[in-house]
Structure formats: structure tokens, C-alpha cells
Amino acid sequence: MKELEKEITQAVRQVLQEATGTDYDGKVLIQETRREFEGDLTVVVFSLAKVLRRPPEEAGAWLGEQLVRRLPHIARYNVIKGFLNLVVDGSYWVEFLNKIRHERRYGLQEAAADAPTVVIEYSSPNTNKPLHLGHVRNNLIGYSLSRIMAADGNRVVKTNIVNDRGIHICKSMLAWQKWGNGITPEKASKKGDFLVGDFYVKFEQEYRKQVEQMVAGGMPEEEAKKKAPLLLEAQEMLRRWEAGDPEVIRLWKMMNGWVYEGFDVTYKALGVDFDKIYYESDTYKVGKKIVLEALEKGIVYRREDGSVWADLRDEGLDEKVLLRSDGTAVYMTQDLGTALLRWEDYHFDKHIYVVGNEQNYHFQVLRILMKKLGYPWADRLIHLSYGMVELPEGKMKSREGKVVDADDLIAGMIETAREMGEELGKLEGLDEKEKEEVYRKIGLGALKYFILKIDPKKNIVFDPRESIDFNGNTGPFIQYTYARIRSVLRKAADRNVAVPEQLGTNYLPNEKETLLVRLLARFPQVRADAAAGYDPALVANFAYETAKAFNQFYHDYSILNETEAEARNFRLVMTLKTGEVLHTAMGLLGIEMPERM
RNA sequence: GGUCCAGUAGCUCAGUUGGAUAGAGCAACAGUCUUCUAAACUGUGGGUCCCAGGUUCGAAUCCUGGCUGGAUCACCA
């Protein structure tokens, strides 16, 4: 399709050159023809008409005449207002199918030997609570993006930074020490991340109680929040941790271990993984070193209380703390270190952070700071900022237990898929294990598609009382279309009908077929656009359109029961390739496709 | 208050270098299974593209101003 557009553009330029005697350096705007008009590609002639000094309608007709004469693939044309609709000859689509017939990886760009390296960071959990729906969105976008970037010819490194140190984990640790009575995930028969999360909530409850008491005793709330004994204890624990206190370290390792075991289960259920995991407990040291070096060079400064700051007011930003007065590191410190470590590890061409938009400011500062510190590759740090997932009553708050838990959500989706599947009863003949596998794919497909079809920038309001759809513009709709296609191909094999290796060019595809093949032809461009815009939603919407076009075709025409050989052959190849494209496209979203459903 | 993001049908969303009469799904209603899978297909109704100006042959899209919602401006991460 891209080639054809180029051909047309070239021809238009040549025709203009011949007509006016000068080169036309403006744009030639070509778009897919809207459904209600006859044609496949449309040249917008308004600007061209100006060059030709003729009214748009007349210029369009003249141009159409020229193009039909010069281009073998353009069968005829019509002009409506200033739009020149070109009808592509049916043989072009047959040839197109022949061309991609044996491309197993059609639509994907192989990574060349000197392909750019793209590091993608996503997930980045805190180790003090289980993953919730917000994390799910992060993981799905990050994983999908890594597939898309890889499909676009990049070498991709999936990374995760585990925020395993800091005051938050100390809060859980302290609460466990005080009220845990030595409980473990085994004894509680609870996933480790949930158990640790419970203690985080416990800390917050007790802390709030203390603050309330102190306020009742006459202390201003601001002061009470800073001076509550529990908080002071947690801060003391962080200092001891950073000083390497063996008892604190032991507790920290144990509780983090519980959390990791829990995360692994969730990651596995979601189908996401990483090539390299960084731990903040390592990278903060590098960050501290960077800050102290910058201090020596006078790029940052120390205040009287001992804290270290960067002054970014020249850049239109504020002052930013880099080390606390007690010398401990903050979030920014470790991110400086992580960035440097990754640079040393990969010398990336791009480093994409998949992090929520609440941290826009943080990444703005990070980039400017890295630049100020003398790292020219700071420009390669890209923040893919995605919107929040909110509940109807507002933001999710782990501290208050108001969250949609990731594990529950996944289990619920699979359960719904099972109920619907059993009701429809199409999986008879499969054993229980095979059925479960199908339900798992469908449940997760529904969840992933639901999240990924939405523009990452936008906030999502998720109402747990309303279930995620399985009909219409959904993952299961596309999966179902794929299962239908596979079913047809299985039946073809049963009947010893082979999908032809090559098609004769006599067949003229009908309207629905042309529409579908046109979509298949668009796929490489969709992949490229999605990579350029870091936007999985483009792939999702493409897959939907393609599935819809196939279903419309399928409804109106027979494939195997078609008696005319040319038509049957064309449809078989088209069906095969549609299935492949759907499989590939959904794969870019991290969605698996069942062979039957 | 500064900065960033969003605002399109009752609801959830597409609409990407400015192009034709703004499109899907859900929900509602009415149809289509003796046929390659009805998780599908077809039809009906549903719009102040937040508002007001501006640029343009042409604006949901670009510019200016305003309105609404969210985020952020922490010695939390």
C-alpha cells in the first residue's frame, strides 16, 4: 500500500512538473477512500489545483486521466468536489496477497545488525504492597510497547526498577516487628505481597491514631504528622538500613523475599517479563556518588542542615533535594544512579520510562538534572506518561485498602470467560486442562484489550461493579474471529483443500474482500506508527477493524463452499493471512489467541 | 497561583502531517442460525466535537482567551 502511495505521489509530481515546467515541492496528500465513495485511494487536489491554476474539480479530473494512463494499477477514477478517488485494479490486491503469502513475519521489521537499542523500564513496583489495577495498566503498556518496538526493528531491553528501599518498606517492616508475632506467608497461608501489604496498612492505621491523639493533646496537625513516634521509628529504621545494620537488613531481605514471590505469581499471570531487573537498593549508591561528585564540582550545593540541593530555577523549575539532611537518598537520587547504570550497561539509543503522569515533573527534572551533570545522552531519556486508573469514587489508595487488586481482577476475568464459555458450550471435545487454557486466554485477552485499546495518555475510570465486556469492540471479539479463521482452515485441511501457494491474477475481489485486503496492506504502517508514537492503542484498533471487516466478509460469502475455484482460492489465502495478521497484531499487545473458542 | 494532560452520542472510546455528510462498541428497539463457529451479522434511533473568537478554499484537529475535570509543584516513592 505504501509502495502504491509512493508510486502515485511520484506520478503526480511528474505530471505537475510537465504541466507547469517547475518542480512541485509541496505535499501530495493521499488517504484511504472513505467507504461511501467508490475507490481505494484518494488524492486531495485542493493544493494541487492551485498549482495547476484550475478549479479543483477540473484539476482532479485531468489528474485522474493522467494517472489512469500512466499507472498500471489504477483502473479508473472519479472526482467529487476536490477529491480524486482512484480505483485500484483488482489484480493489484491479488498480487499483494501473492507477495505476502509466504512472509511468516509479515508486518514486522527485523532488527538489523546495527539496530538501535531501546531500553524500556516498566512495572517499577514498591515492595510494600500487592499490585493493583494501576500497576496492571503500567505492565501491559510497558510489555506491549516492548513488543512493538522490537517489531519495529529495535533491539529491546525490558527492565524493571524495584523500589525495594525507602521509608515505605520500613513502615511494613516496623509494623511486622511490632504486631506480626513472627507470622509468615506459609503460616498465614497468604501470598507474601498481600501479607506485607497488610502490615503497611496496619502501620498507617496506628500512625493515624497517634497523630489524632497528639492533635487532641493540643499539637498542630502538621507538627504531629512529623513527630509521631511511629514515623520517627520508621525513619530511624531507614537510617539503620542504610548503615547496614544486620538485623534490619535480615528483616528487609526476608520481607522483600515474600513480596517477590507474590509479584512473580502476578507477573506470570499477566504474561509479562523482564530482561534485567535493577534494585533501588543497589542504584541509590551510584546516585549518591553522582550527587557527591557534583557537589565537589559545585553543580549542586549543600545547605546548612546538611541536605544537598540542585537549583533548577534557571530552567524554569524549582530547587530539588537530592540528599536528605541525614545523608540518606531520595527517589531522585536513585533514579540518577539507575539511569547511569543503564547507560553503562547498554549505551542505549532510547530509554523509555513507562511511568504514570503523576510523575511528569519528576522526569522533567531528571532529564534536566542529568544534562546539568554532564551526561549528553540525557536527551535519550523519554517519559511515556500514561493516565491514572481511577475508581468512580476517585483515586485508588493502597493505604486505605481502596484498590482493585490485580490477582482478583485476573481471576475474575478468567471466571467470567469460563462461565460464558460453558454456557455457549463450544469447547466440547476438549479436556478440562485445554478448556482452562482457552478460558485463561480469553479472560486475559478481555482485560488486556480493555486497557490497551485506550490511548495511554487518557485517564481510565474503572467501575468494579460493571464487568468488562466480552462482546463488541473487545479482545474476545478479535480472538473469536481468529478462532473462526482457524476453524475454517482446519476444515479445509480435513477436506484436503490446500491453501494455494500462488494465485492467478484473473480474479476480481469484491468490495468486502478489497476492504479486508486493504486493511492487511495497512498493517506495516500501523506498526510503524504505533512505535513512533509509543501507542499500543493504534494496534488494538487496527486489529478490531480487521476482525470486523473479516466477519462482515465471512457473513456474506462462503470460503470452502464457494464453487468457483478462483474465488475460493483467493478467499483461502486472504483468510489465512488475516488470521496471521490478527495473531501478530494481538501478539504486539501481549494477547494470546486460542485456536478455538 | 505556576506547569502538564484531558474534555467528541446516555456510557466507554476511535478520529496522527488541517480535508468529503464526525465513526465504532455498549445500552434500547427490530431482524438473521437445516449452511465454513450467532462471543457473529444487518437495521433504527441517538451529536452545541466544552464555550467564544481567530487563521484557512476547508477546523473535532492549528492559534488566542475562557470554562470543567485530573495530576503536579514533598527531606514519600
Complex-level ipTM:
0.95
Distance CA A344, CA A338 (A): 10
Smallest CA–C1' separation from A551, nucleotide: B40
Residue with cell 556518588: A289
pLDDT of residue A314: 83
DSSP A562: -
Residue with cell 537498593: A281
Alpha carbons within 13 A on the beta-carbon side of A39? 21
pLDDT of residue A473: 95
Pick the CATH number of A406-588 from 3.30.479.10, 3.40.50.300, 1.10.730.10, 3.30.470.20: 1.10.730.10
Residue lying closest to nucleotide B40, CA to C1': A551
User: Counting beta carbons within 10 angstroms of the beta carbon of residue A550, is it exposed (0 to 12), middle (13 to 18) or buried (19 or more)?
Assistant: buried
* Amino acid in the structure at residue A351: H
Estimate in Å the CA A416 to C1' B15 gap, whole number: 32
Note whether A123 and A135 are within 8 A (CB). yes
pLDDT of residue A225: 86
Estimate in Å the CA A359 to C1' B62 gap, whole number: 28
Residue lying closest to nucleotide B36, CA to C1': A488
What is the CATH code for A122-400? 3.40.50.620
User: Counting beta carbons within 10 angstroms of the beta carbon of residue A580, is it exposed (0 to 12), middle (13 to 18) or buried (19 or more)?
Assistant: buried
pLDDT of residue A375: 93
Residues of chain A with CATH 1.10.730.10: 406-588
Residues of chain A with CATH 3.40.50.620: 122-400
Closest CA to A203 of A165, A252, A248, A170: A170
Query: Dihedral, CA atoms, A545, A550, A552, A556, nearest 10 degrees?
Result: 170
Smallest CA–C1' separation from A81, nucleotide: B20
What does DSSP say about strands A350-356 and A276-279: parallel, antiparallel, or unpaired? Answer: unpaired
- Name the 3-class secondary structure at A558: coil
Pick the CATH number of A2-88 from 3.30.1050.10, 3.40.50.12280, 3.40.50.300, 3.30.1360.70: 3.30.1360.70
pLDDT of residue A409: 94
pLDDT of residue A393: 77
Closest CA to A128 of A81, A75, A176, A71: A176
Smallest CA–C1' separation from A326, nucleotide: B75
Chain B bases under 7 Å from protein CB?
A: 2, 4-7, 12-17, 19-21, 24-27, 35-42, 57-58, 69-77
pLDDT of residue A226: 86
Per-residue pLDDT of chain A (597 residues; tens, 9 = 90+): 778 999 999 999 999 999 888 888 888 999 999 988 899 999 999 989 988 888 999 999 999 999 999 999 999 999 998 899 999 999 999 999 999 999 989 999 999 999 999 999 999 999 999 999 999 999 999 999 999 999 999 999 999 999 998 889 999 999 999 999 999 999 999 999 999 999 999 999 999 999 999 989 988 888 888 889 999 999 999 889 988 999 999 999 999 999 999 999 999 999 999 999 999 999 999 999 999 999 999 999 999 999 999 998 888 788 899 999 988 888 999 999 999 999 999 999 999 999 999 999 999 999 999 999 999 999 999 999 999 898 877 778 777 767 889 999 999 999 999 999 999 988 988 999 999 999 999 999 999 999 999 999 998 888 887 889 999 999 999 999 999 999 999 999 999 999 999 998 889 999 999 999 999 999 999 999 999 999 999 999 999 999 999 999 999 999 999 999 999 999 999 999 999 999 999 999 999 999 999
Note whether A580 and A404 are within 8 A (CB). no
Q: How distant, in Å, are the alpha carbons of A83, A84, A465, A555, A556 from that of A34?
A: 11, 12, 39, 22, 21
Q: Which helix (H) or strand (E) segment is A512 a member of?
A: helix A511-533
Estimate in Å the CA A457 to C1' B67 gap, whole number: 22
Residue lying closest to nucleotide B18, CA to C1': A29
Residues of chain A with CATH 3.30.1360.70: 2-88
Smallest CA–C1' separation from A480, nucleotide: B39
**In A126-190, which ranges are E strands?**
155-162
Smallest CA–C1' separation from A304, nucleotide: B75
